[in-house]
Amino acid sequence: MTETRIEQDSMGTMSVPADALYGAQTARALENFPISGLRFPRPFLRALGMIKEHAARVNRELGLLDERRALAIMEAAEEVVEGALDEHFVLDIFQTGSGTSSNMNAHEVIAALAGTRFGARGHPNDHVNMSQSSNDCFPTAIHIAAALEITHRLIPALTRLRGALRRKTSRFSGIIKIGRTHLMDAMPVTFGQEISGWAAQLRHGIERIHAALPRVRAIVQGGTAVGTGINAPADFGPRVAAALAAPAGPAEQRWAADGPARLVGPPRWRIELTFQVAMRIVGSTEQRPYSPAQSLEECNEFATTIITGSGCAAPQHLIF
């Protein structure tokens, strides 16, 4: 029989496996949503850990989180980034709301490890989730995971495939075959010419991916619950984005942790806060640069007009 312990939160008590780092909220969600058996993939958990690590760093810089507790949270979150704690992320990908259960799963795991291994246990919500919400963390994690996978795995793989096809174009240039149109034999073509069309399709696909990446790289961290930035400092989002955009030393290797080492080379990270996308959503064609003093004011303005499923469409922080 598995040994258990009793964990308590505002909704009551829950029985939790004795060796689990998660707590009552995760255990309750595990009981409530046994739907598919599918768990969140490694790229998403890595991105979520990155957010929690850099959020703690920024909260420390802003004087909201004491040094000892912030460093413990950052160390524990780094374990999430590196994949050492994946077994404690037990929830189904199909769950209620905006990912609140999995967000709290991360908070409980990080808070517990911060206490047991790094000597400064914090509160899962009050400290690990400080200045954040599921409604900005979850979409931000999705965007970061997608951007990193696209940059370090998809585009290099497609580029290698296109190169292989281009080489086949020359190799098979002497093989004649019948081209077909409308399910009928038509005119002769070389097999190399046919393959060149496949290579061109890949080139166009890669170009479209590159064109879409700026929108994938936009994150909404700092918008908190409904996009207005309530319960977060006005510059929290830009600071977190800047921290995410500044890998240091050996940690750069984690950007491509699931891919070949030769693909790693740190990208040319940049940080820019932009409102242009949101301005177009509300029907404005005005283009103007970001001013730090505008961030919360702008977001409050947009909140009155672009309230969607999880809040305001701005601000968006481009991470690289």
Note whether 282 and 295 are same-domain residues: yes
Note whether 93 and 163 are same-domain residues: no
Respond yes or no on whether the N-terminal peptide bond of residue 315 is cis (omega within 30° of 0). yes
DSSP 139-162: HHHHHHHHHHHIIIIIHHHHHHHH
52 in a structural domain: yes
Mean pLDDT over 127-131 rounds to 97
Rounded CA-CA distance 231/224 in Å is 7
290 in a structural domain: yes
266 in a structural domain: yes
75 in a structural domain: yes
Note whether 108 and 193 are same-domain residues: no
Q: What is the reported pLDDT for 97?
A: 82
Distances 172 to 55, 166, 169, 178, 194 between C-alpha atoms, Å: 54, 10, 6, 14, 10
Note whether 225 and 260 are same-domain residues: yes
Distances 235 to 2, 61, 78, 113, 284 between C-alpha atoms, Å: 46, 11, 23, 28, 24
**pLDDT tens per residue, range 162-191:** 999 999 999 999 999 999 999 999 999 999
Distances 145 to 15, 34, 151, 153, 258 between C-alpha atoms, Å: 32, 25, 10, 11, 12
User: What is the domain extent for residue 57?
Assistant: 20-130
Boundary residue ending a domain (130, 158, 175): 130
Boundary residue ending a domain (99, 130, 161): 130
Asked if residue 301 has pLDDT above 90, the reply is no
Q: What is the reported pLDDT for 229?
A: 94
**pLDDT tens per residue, range 113-125:** 999 988 888 899 9
Give the SS3 label for residue 228: coil
Note whether 86 and 145 are same-domain residues: no
Mean pLDDT of the chain: 82
3 in a structural domain: no
69 in a structural domain: yes
Note whether 206 and 72 are same-domain residues: no
**pLDDT tens per residue, range 63-79:** 999 999 999 999 999 99
Alpha-helical (H) ranges within 83-221 are 100-116, 134-149, 155-171, 191-216
Q: What is the reported pLDDT for 96?
A: 83
Note whether 30 and 71 are same-domain residues: yes
First-residue to last-residue Cα distance in the chain: 49
**pLDDT tens per residue, range 190-231:** 999 999 999 999 999 999 999 999 999 999 999 999 999 999
How does residue 277 score in pLDDT terms, banded at 50, 70 and 90? very low
Q: What is the reported pLDDT for 294?
A: 40
Specify whether the backbone of 184 is left (phi greater than 0), alpha (psi in -120 to 50) or beta.
beta
Q: What is the reported pLDDT for 319?
A: 63
- Determine which of 89-93, 246-250, 251-255, 310-314 has the lowest per-residue pLDDT on average: 251-255
11 in a structural domain: no
Boundary residue ending a domain (130, 153, 177): 130
CA atoms within 13 A on the CB side of 144: 32
Alpha-helical (H) ranges within 217-286 are 236-244, 276-281
Number of domains in the chain: 2
Mean pLDDT over 151-170 rounds to 97
Joined together, the tokens standing for residue 305 give 């007009």
**CATH number of residue 81's parent domain:** 1.10.275.10
> Under a CB-based contact definition with an 8 Å cutoff, are residues 148 and 43 in contact?
yes
176 in a structural domain: yes
Note whether 155 and 210 are same-domain residues: yes
Note whether 208 and 289 are same-domain residues: yes
Rounded CA-CA distance 280/275 in Å is 9
Note whether 157 and 122 are same-domain residues: no
Note whether 156 and 142 are same-domain residues: yes
Note whether 115 and 143 are same-domain residues: no
